[in-house]
Structure formats: C-alpha cells, structure tokens
C-alpha cells in the first residue's frame, strides 16, 4: 500500500516536472501508457485473478473506443454521455461473448474468445459510415465540463491517472471482497468450488463483464487521446499485446498490468527513439527494428522470470 | 448466378482449404501431442515463402526452388524447437503464448533484416494460363496444381499417420501422451521430427500460395488465426479433423465472400446489401467455429479418448 501511494505521488508530480522543462510530448506519451495500463489491469482481473485466458480483450477496448468515437462523430461530445455509452457497449459485448465462451474450457476458451474478437474486428472494418477500414478521425476530444479542458495534455493526463487509480483501487477492493475470494477459489479449483455450491458460471461471467466494462473505458480514453480510432484497436495482435503486458508485468499481481504497459511501451519508445551510439555504429538502422529488442526481452522474461516483473520485485522484497 | 460460377468458387474454396490444411496439420499435432500453443507457426509459413522466393530466383526453376525451400524451412523449424520451444512444453499456456508471440516479433524483424519487407515469387510461366475443365469452365492451371499438390500431400500424410510405425507413435502421443511415454515412445525425438514436418508443410503452403498472395512480413499472422480456427473446428490433435475443418473453412469463406453479397441483394435494398454482405461474409467462419464449439465443445473429431 505504501509503495502504491509513493508511485502515485511520483505520477502526480510527473507533468509538473515535464512542464517545467517544457516537454509536453512526454505528458501525452505517459497518458497513453496509463490508458494501456488501465486496459491491461482490466485484463489482469480476468486472466490473472479469474484464471480465464481470454485472447479477445481488444474487442472490449475496441467496443468502447468505437462507441465513444461514434458519440463524438455524431456531435455528442460530452464525456458524461460518451464514456458511459462506451462502458455500456463493452459491458454488453462482454456479456454476450462471455455467456457463450464460458461454456468452453481450456484451449477452446482461448480460441473462442479470439474468434469473437475477430468477428468484432471484421464488423467494424465494414462499418463504412464510420470510416470502415480507414478509421474514424475525431474533430476533438470528449468534453468533460467542470472547467476542465481535455484538449490540454496536462489535464488529460490527470484525468486518465484518476481512472488508473480508480481501477487499481477497485481491483484491490474487489479482490478483498467475498466476490474476489470466490473468483480466486474458482481459479484454484473449479470442481471444488462447484462442489461446495458456488455458482461458478455466474461468478465468472460477472468477472468477465466487469473487466470488459473497464476495458471499454480505456478504449474511450484511447480514442479521445489520439482523436482517432481505427479497426486495428480490435486486431488480435492488440489482444496479444495486452496479454503480453499482463504476463510481462505479473499475472494476478495488483500492479502487473500497469508495470507491463509501462515496460512494453517504454521499451518500444526507448529502442526506437534513443539510438545507443555504440550499437548505431555497428547497425545504423537498428531503431527501425525495435520489435526485435522487444521480442528478445519478452522471451527472456518467459524463460527467466516466470512470475513477471512484479514477481521479481516482490521476491526481492521478501528476501 | 450460374452453376459455372458456383463450381469455380467451390474449386477456389477447395484450393484455399487444402493449403490451410497444410498449415493446420502441423499445428494440430504440435497442439495435440505436446499441448503447446505455438503462435510462431505462421512465422514458419512466412519464412518458407521468403526462402522459396530466394531459392526460385537462385535456381531459376520454380519446382527446384520450392522443393529446396521445404527441407530448409524444416531444418529451421527443428532448430527452433530444440533451442527454444522444447523448454516451454512443461510451462502453462500463458507462458507459451508470450514466448511464441515474442518469437513472431523476432522472426518478423529478422526476416525484414534479411529480405526487406516483401519479396517476389512469380508464378511459373507454363502454369499462368487457364485450362478448360468443362465446356464454359476455364480454370487457372496454377490453382489446379495447388489442388493436386494439396490432395497428394493429404493422402501421403494420411498413409504416414495411419499405416506406418512413426504415424502410430504420433497418434499414440496425441491421444495419450503419458501412456505413450510409459510404453517407451521417445516423445522428445518424435516431437522434434513432428515439428520439422510441420515446418516443411508450412513452407510448402507458403511457397505455393506466394504467387497468389503477396510475400510480405506479417503474412503469417492472419493465416495463423485461420489455421487455429480450422484445428479447433476439426478437434485438436486430429489430422482427419484438420482436413475436414480446413476444407470446410476454405469453402465456407470463399463461397460466402462470393455469394453472400449477391444473396443479400435479393432480399434487401442494395445499400444495405452492399454494406452487410461483405461484413457477414468475413465473420462467417468465426460464426461457424462458435456454432461448432457450442454444439460440440471438443471439435468435430476429438483426438483424445
């Protein structure tokens, strides 16, 4: 808990420091990282705590992103309408997809969630009225009112930071509750949970819907952040990337999703925008191949840090 | 909508389905025997196509180039299996997904370094024309060759798996790994071989499809998902299931794309039809998979008894 508060104090001070050296690019970049952290945290609820390996989480991010974008494109810019609409759309999608998928188990669950996400991907691809495969540029970010201008990078940063704090606190509270205990019990031993009379399916579905709703909020924020949405937010590689963030950070660890998002996006950025002089001397074009470095780091994490980065940190603390 | 068009599209579907089968056969065995999710299977397909494009240019012969690309890719696959994938069998699905996703990124970038973002693999001149199959039905010769190769490989694979000793071990491994181990099957070597064979089939599919599709980095990712759909429909670990699933997916996808927009045009206004037709057509196979899984949660031909 103390650690979490310390991290948030640093995050609160970050835009002030960046404003002082007049570097707003990093404030915007940090907002993007935080939005991905929210999405990855929501996936961690399903994947890490619930033990359901969903390979279609991008569908919910996408449902939220498109719902919010369509509101703005149709002239309803108020975040008070757009964001709840995004949450409702993705919760509905999660409920429908979850209701069917949760009847299967194991590898089949992985594949059926993937199949539904692909369906959603092709559906938005064919929505010609909203850009189709070219995507939908937005005239502006959502409007929050209250004297807060989301067009301002620093204000936007604090808003997304607020939602990250809310998601993490929510996840923490949910996992302390009876509901959370049941979800973990199901992950640990589904047959036993069923045998002592817990309604396994209902709990799993509820967990799935909550995670979908939060992912939808992340999607709405993402669309506002870039003032643009395109079908690639629903592509399966995007679902894979969210999974990677969770696994990289730490499956079933409170900060897992956030750490993973920070490390993955940070790594991409550092490799492609900060060429190391000695490496650039050998291979001048290497920043264009940033994914090679990202891939090697990911492989190293799987082979040498099975519990992710959060696992490494807590083990060190325990020692 | 004449019967010739229907026949032509069915042949296209069969042709695509047979190539999907080549990919799915390797994937389903890897999945079935070792319970391993290998997302990098599509990367082998891509590598096969790139290697074939280089070898075809080097040898000046399409057949020689493709035939040489197959063992080359098989060796790469076996090296990959021995160096990285082998350590992942005992791990959970999540670790396998992460590691093989990392492999996709690594192989994509290495391919880009070696070849650039795309390569050319032109169709052999002799096969570029059409053949008159029936009066009024002219069909591209090259696509017929693909169908012939696909059928031939399917038959060979079927004989290999059902009639030979190696095939018996593979089936034993797929249906009950622990029991096969206890009966003295050397799963480790067997699996390296299966993986090599899977890579070889990937290379064949990649090289054969290359003249029809573009050879480019990332080509493996989309077809990989189709291959997964195929093996899930067919039942994981079952070669027969992979064949049925692949042909089913190939035909449903091709026929759907060709005729759904027309069919919708009959019932709906043109504006609705032109928007909804292609959309429904592209989700048709995923719909098929969801329905199959809903009715038969273990696929059409479950391998594990």
Q: Nearest CA of chain B to the CA of A232: how many Å?
A: 13
B275 touching A (Cβ < 8 Å): yes
Decide if A298 and B290 are in contact by the 8 Å CB cutoff: no
Q: With both helix axes pointing from N to C terminus, report the angle between A236-249 and A290-304 in degrees, rounded to the nearest 10.
A: 50
Q: Quick check: is A268 in a domain?
A: no
Q: Quick check: is B265 in a domain?
A: yes
How far is it, in rounded angstroms, from Cα A232 to Cα A101?
23
Instruction: Give the per-residue pLDDT at A284.
Output: 67
- List the beta bridge partners of residue A229: A136
Q: Which residues contact A151 (CB under 8 A, 6 or more apart)?
A: A140, A141
Q: Quick check: is A299 in a domain?
A: no
Token readout for B9 is 């599209």
B115, B55 Cβ separation under 8 angstroms: no
B145, B18 Cβ separation under 8 angstroms: no
Q: Quick check: is A213 in a domain?
A: yes
Instruction: Give the per-residue pLDDT at B20.
Output: 92
Q: Of B68, B33, B42, whose CA–CA distance to B219 is shortest?
A: B42
Token readout for A234 is 């629903």
A38, A163 Cβ separation under 8 angstroms: yes
How far is it, in rounded angstroms, from Cα B158 to Cα B160?
5
Within chain A, what is the greatest distance between any pair of CA atoms? 65
The partner residue sitting opposite B290, judged by closest CB among A107, A112, A127, is A112
Digit-coded pLDDT (tens) for B258-284: 888 777 777 777 776 666 777 777 788
Q: Which residues contact A207 (CB under 8 A, 6 or more apart)?
A: A45, A46, A49, A50, A52, A183
Q: What is the ipTM of this complex?
A: 0.79
Cα atoms found within 13 Å of the Cα of residue B40, Cβ hemisphere only: 26
Instruction: Give the per-residue pLDDT at A125.
Output: 84
Containing H/E element for B265?
A: helix B239-267
Q: Quick check: is A263 in a domain?
A: no
Q: Give me the number of domains chain A comprises.
A: 1
Q: Nearest CA of chain B to the CA of A187: how many Å?
A: 14
Instruction: Give the per-residue pLDDT at B305.
Output: 44
A111, B302 Cβ separation under 8 angstroms: no
Instruction: Look up the CATH number of the domain holding residue B276.
Output: 1.10.3470
- List the beta bridge partners of residue A78: A143
Interface test mutation site (partner B, options A98, A106, A125, A302, max chain B beta carbons within 10 A): A302
B37, B100 Cβ separation under 8 angstroms: yes
Which of helix, strand or coil describes residue A136?
A: strand
Q: Quick check: is B304 in a domain?
A: no
Q: Of B10, B1, B81, whose CA–CA distance to B44 is shortest?
A: B81
Domain that holds residue A182: 2-235
Token readout for A62 is 């996408």
Q: Give me the number of domains chain B comprises.
A: 1
Please count the residues of chain B.
Answer: 305
How far is it, in rounded angstroms, from Cα A83 to Cα A93?
15
How far is it, in rounded angstroms, from Cα A110 to Cα A53?
6
Q: Quick check: is B18 in a domain?
A: yes
Q: Quick check: is B112 in a domain?
A: yes
Q: Where do we find the tokens 């296209």? A: B12
Which of helix, strand or coil describes residue A149?
A: coil
Residue ranges of A 174-213 with Cβ closer than 8 A to chain B:
none
Domain that holds residue B189: 3-295
Could you tell me where the DSSP H helices lie in chain A? 2-20, 24-44, 58-73, 79-101, 106-125, 153-176, 178-188, 190-195, 200-226, 236-249, 256-273, 277-282, 290-304, 308-318
B300 touching A (Cβ < 8 Å): no
Token readout for B39 is 């997302």
Q: Nearest CA of chain A to the CA of B32: how many Å?
A: 11
Q: What angle (nearest 5°) sits at the alpha carbon of residue B298, between those of residues B292 and B301? A: 85
Residue ranges of B 208-227 with Cβ closer than 8 A to chain A:
221, 225
Q: Quick check: is A88 in a domain?
A: yes
Q: Which residues contact A285 (CB under 8 A, 6 or more apart)?
A: none
B118 touching A (Cβ < 8 Å): no
Decide if A108 and B287 are in contact by the 8 Å CB cutoff: no
Decide if A303 and B94 are in contact by the 8 Å CB cutoff: no
Tens digit of pLDDT per residue, chain B (305 long)? 578 888 888 899 999 999 999 999 888 888 877 778 888 899 999 999 999 999 998 988 888 999 999 999 999 999 999 998 888 888 888 888 888 988 998 999 899 888 888 888 888 877 777 887 777 778 888 889 999 999 999 999 889 888 888 888 888 877 777 788 888 878 788 888 889 999 999 999 999 998 888 888 888 888 888 898 898 899 888 888 999 999 999 999 998 888 887 777 777 777 766 667 777 777 888 888 888 887 887 888 876 54
The partner residue sitting opposite B105, judged by closest CB among A294, A302, A306, is A294
Q: Quick check: is B301 in a domain?
A: no
B34, B176 Cβ separation under 8 angstroms: no
Tens digit of pLDDT per residue, chain A (319 long)? 677 788 888 877 777 777 777 777 888 888 999 999 999 999 999 998 988 889 899 999 999 999 999 988 888 878 788 899 999 999 999 999 998 888 888 778 888 898 889 889 988 888 877 877 788 888 888 777 777 777 788 888 889 999 999 999 999 999 899 999 999 989 988 889 889 888 889 999 999 999 999 999 999 999 989 888 888 888 888 898 898 899 888 888 888 889 989 988 988 888 777 777 777 666 666 667 777 888 888 888 888 877 777 777 775 544 3
Q: Quick check: is B65 in a domain?
A: yes
């Amino acid at each position: 808990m103390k650690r979490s508060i310390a991290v948030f104090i640093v995050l609160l001070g970050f835009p002030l420091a960046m404003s002082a050296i007049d570097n707003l690019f990093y404030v915007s970049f940090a907002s993007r990282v935080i939005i991905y952290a929210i999405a990855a945290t929501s996936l961690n609820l399903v994947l890490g705590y619930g033990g359901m390996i969903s390979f279609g989480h991008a569908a919910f991010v996408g449902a939220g992103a498109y719902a919010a974008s369509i509101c703005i494109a149709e002239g309803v810019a108020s975040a008070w309408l757009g964001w709840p609409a995004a949450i409702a759309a993705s919760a509905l999608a999660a409920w429908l997809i979850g209701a069917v998928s949760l009847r299967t188990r194991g590898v089949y669950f992985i594949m059926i969630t993937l199949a539904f996400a692909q369906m959603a991907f092709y559906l938005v691809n064919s929505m010609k009225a909203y850009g189709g495969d070219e995507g939908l540029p937005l005239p502006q970010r959502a409007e929050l009112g209250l004297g807060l201008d989301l067009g301002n990078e620093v204000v936007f940063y604090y808003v997304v930071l607020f939602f990250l704090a809310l998601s993490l606190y929510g996840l923490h509270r949910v996992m302390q509750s009876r509901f959370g205990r049941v979800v973990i019990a199901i992950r640990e031993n589904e047959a036993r949970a069923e045998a002592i009379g817990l309604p396994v399916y209902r709990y799993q579905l509820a967990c799935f819907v909550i995670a979908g709703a939060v992912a939808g909020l992340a999607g709405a924020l993402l669309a506002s952040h870039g003032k643009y949405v395109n079908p690639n937010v629903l592509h399966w590689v995007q679902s894979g990337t969210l999974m990677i963030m969770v696994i990289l950070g730490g499956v079933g660890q409170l900060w897992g999703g956030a750490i993973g998002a920070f490390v993955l996006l940070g790594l991409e950025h550092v490799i492609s925008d900060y060429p190391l002089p000695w490496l650039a001397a050998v291979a001048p074009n290497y920043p264009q191949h940033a994914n090679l470095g990202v891939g090697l780091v990911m492989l190293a994490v799987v082979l040498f840090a099975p519990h992710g980065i959060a696992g490494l940190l807590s083990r060190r603390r325990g020692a | 909508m004449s019967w010739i068009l229907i026949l032509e599209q069915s042949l296209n579907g069969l042709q695509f389905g047979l190539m999907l089968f080549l990919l799915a056969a390797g994937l389903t065995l890897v999945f079935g025997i070792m319970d391993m999710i290998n997302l990098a299977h599509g990367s082998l397909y891509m590598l096969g196509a790139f290697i074939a494009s280089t070898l075809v240019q080097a040898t000046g012969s399409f057949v020689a180039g493709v035939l040489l690309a197959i063992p080359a890719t098989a060796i790469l696959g076996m090296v990959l299996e021995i160096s990285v994938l082998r350590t992942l069998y005992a791990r959970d699905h999540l670790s396998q997904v992460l590691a093989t996703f990392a492999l996709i990124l690594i192989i994509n970038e290495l391919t880009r370094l070696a070849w650039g973002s795309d390569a050319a693999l032109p169709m052999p001149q002799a096969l570029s024309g059409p053949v008159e199959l029936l009066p009024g039905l002219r069909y591209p010769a090259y696509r017929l060759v693909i169908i012939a190769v696909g059928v031939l490989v399917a038959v060979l694979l079927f004989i290999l798996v059902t009639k030979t000793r190696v095939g018996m071990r593979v089936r034993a491994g797929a249906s009950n790994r622990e029991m096969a181990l206890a009966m003295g099957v050397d799963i480790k070597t067997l699996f390296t071989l299966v993986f090599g064979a899977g890579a070889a089939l990937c290379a064949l599919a990649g090289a054969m499809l290359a003249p029809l599709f573009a050879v480019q980095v990332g080509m493996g990712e989309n077809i990989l998902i189709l291959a997964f759909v195929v093996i899930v429909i067919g039942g994981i670990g079952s070669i027969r299931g992979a064949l049925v699933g692949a042909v089913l997916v190939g035909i449903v996808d091709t026929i759907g794309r060709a005729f759904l927009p027309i069919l919708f045009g009959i019932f709906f206004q043109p504006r609705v039809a032109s928007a909804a037709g292609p959309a429904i057509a592209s989700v048709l196979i995923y719909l098929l998979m969801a329905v199959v899984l809903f009715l038969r949660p273990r696929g059409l031909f479950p391998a594990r008894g």
